[in-house]
Structure formats: structure tokens, C-alpha cells
Amino acid sequence: MHFHLKLTVCAALISCCLVSENLAWAAKLNKSAIESRDISVKENLSQNSIEDLQKACAGESGEGCRLLGFEYYEGSVKQDLAKAFEYFSKACDLQDNWACHNVAVMYGSGEGTQADKSRSLEYFERACDLDNGGSCYALGLMYDSGDGVEQDIKTANRYYQKACDLDKAEACTNFGYSFEAVFEYSKAAELYYKACALNNDLGCFNLGNLYKDGTGVSQNYRKALELFSKACSMDNARGCNSLGWMIENGKAVRQDFAKAKESFDKACRLGEPLGCENLKRLTDAGR
């Protein structure tokens, strides 16, 4: 009983840290979404002249307006954030979901327009309604933390679920936390599995913990080892520390103190205090 209560508190604390971390990250991601969108669009961008994009936009092409907006945001013409905002807005009115997302970002940052969180929320909602996973995830973060809106965990989870359904990996991880907090570990495991398959380091780490402890899934050290290894390869500090613990203790792998120290050292360099402590402990013991 006490064990489960402790897990719940830990899960809640980790969830808070994750949301806070992701809100800071989201501001960076949102800008990069304007910059890169997706590979196929960026590859085709160089094949279109500004004149071609202007004609496409004038012909009511949402993609043409969005790409033109990108050129003014940061492209082959002199940067003009007000024009970028104008073209993204037109593209959004033409039902281009990434353009709506970009307008939301610019309202949030005050780039090219006056900062307005209520308008940012409105455009994230429009983009999410048009199945933009990044915007659905952003809405989940906002409602989860009460950033610009009244905190509402149920609404946050609804947006996380939709974003996860749209393959937004971070949303799958955050949605998984909501199930872990109420002891629904099997459902949490399903969501962490999807997040990990989408290469989210926290999803891999969380699923690894469930397999290590046999919580919500059958205990399986080999799977835990693989998941911690994948998380560590994506620079998840706690994943590296857990990988080191597995190697040090010979869980599903040959015991190897030198390799364990390598994992602890990486965890330490990535900012995990336990990694530093474990590295010092083994070093002091002459391992």
C-alpha cells in the first residue's frame, strides 16, 4: 500500500517537471516548426520562386501562402515578420493547419504582431481542429500548467490524447503519466510504448521502469535493458543512470563495472545527480 502511494507521488512530481520542461521546450519547438515544417515541403521549397509562390497564394493555395510566409519569416527574401504573419494568417483561413499553428506561435511570441495569449490559444485550437498534432500538444501543455488558461487537467488530457493519436510522441508520454497517477499502469505502458516507438526518450525510460519493476507489465529485465539503452542513446540522463544500474548488477547482461561507469559518467554529464554519485561510488571502490 505504501509502495503504491509512493509511486503515485513520484509520478505526479515527475509529471509536473515534465510539463514545465516541455513548456520551455515548446517555445523552441514552435519556432522550429515554422522553420522546417516537414522534410518533403522543405525539399520542394527550393523548386518554387517567390513569384510562383505569390501566384499560388493569390490563387487561394493555402500551402502557397504558408510557404510564402516562410520565405518572409526566414528564407530567400529580406526578413519581414509582419508579412510572414500576414501570409500565415491567409493560409490558415485557407485551412492550412501548419499555418494556423505558426500564427498561434507568433501571437504567443509577439513576432510580426502584438503578443496576445488569447489569440494564440484560438489559433492553436484552429490548428488542432485541423489535426495538427503539435498544436493539440501545445494546448495540452497550456491546460496542464494553467499557462494563459485556467488549469484543467481533464481538458489537458483530452488534447494529449488527440495529439498522441496524431503521433505526437511527447503527448503520448504526458498522457501516460495521467494513467500512472491513478494506478492504471497497463494503459500507461501502452502509451509509453507508442511514445518510445516514436523515439521519445522519456517514453522509453518510463516503459523501461515499468518492465524493470514489473508494474503493469510482466517483469522483464531484458526489455528494460533495451529500453534504458535506447533512452540513453537519445541522451536521457535517467535512462543512462538506469542502464548503468542494470549493467552494474548484471540484470539481463553480463556484469561489467567499466561499462556501468561509462553509463553513469554519461548520466552525470547530462545532469543526473545519481549518475555522478554512482560513478563516484564505483570509482572510490576501485571498480
Question: What CATH number does residue 228 fall under?
Answer: 1.25.40.10
Q: Is residue 234 part of a domain?
A: yes
User: What sign results for the dihedral spanned by CA atoms 82, 121, 158, 6?
Assistant: positive
Instruction: Please identify, among 83, 111, 139, the residue that sits at the C-terminal boundary of a domain.
Output: 111
Does 140 fall in a domain?
A: no
Most distant CA pair in the chain, distance? 72
Structural domain tally of the chain?
2
Report if residue 8 sits inside a domain: no
- What does pLDDT average to in each consecutive run of 10 residues of the chain (287 residues)? 24 28 38 38 57 92 93 86 96 96 94 95 97 96 93 97 97 96 96 98 98 97 98 98 98 97 98 97 94
According to the model, what pLDDT value does residue 47 have? Answer: 63
Cα(72)–Cα(59) distance, rounded to whole angstroms? 19
Q: What is the pLDDT of residue 215?
A: 96
Domain membership flag for residue 66: yes
Cell (9 digits) for 184: 492504471
Q: Distances from the Cα of 225 to the Cαs of 78, 180, 230, 240, in angstroms? A: 51, 21, 9, 10
pLDDT at 216: 96
Asked whether residue 236 is assigned to any structural domain, the reply reads yes
Domain boundary among 87, 111, 135: 111
pLDDT for residue 76 = 74
Whether residue 186 is contained in a domain is answered as no
Could you say which of 92, 111, 130 is where a domain stops?
A: 111
Do residues 108 and 83 make contact, with C-beta atoms less than 8 angstroms apart? Answer: no
Contact 104, 70 (CB under 8 A): no
Model-level pTM greater than 0.85? Answer: no
Is the residue at 3 inside a domain?
no
**CB-based burial of residue 227 (10 Å sphere; 0-12 exposed, 13-18 middle, 19+ buried)?**
buried
Task: State the residue range of the domain holding 247.
Answer: 201-287
Residue 229 lies in a domain: yes
Distance of CA 202 to the CA centre of its chain: 9
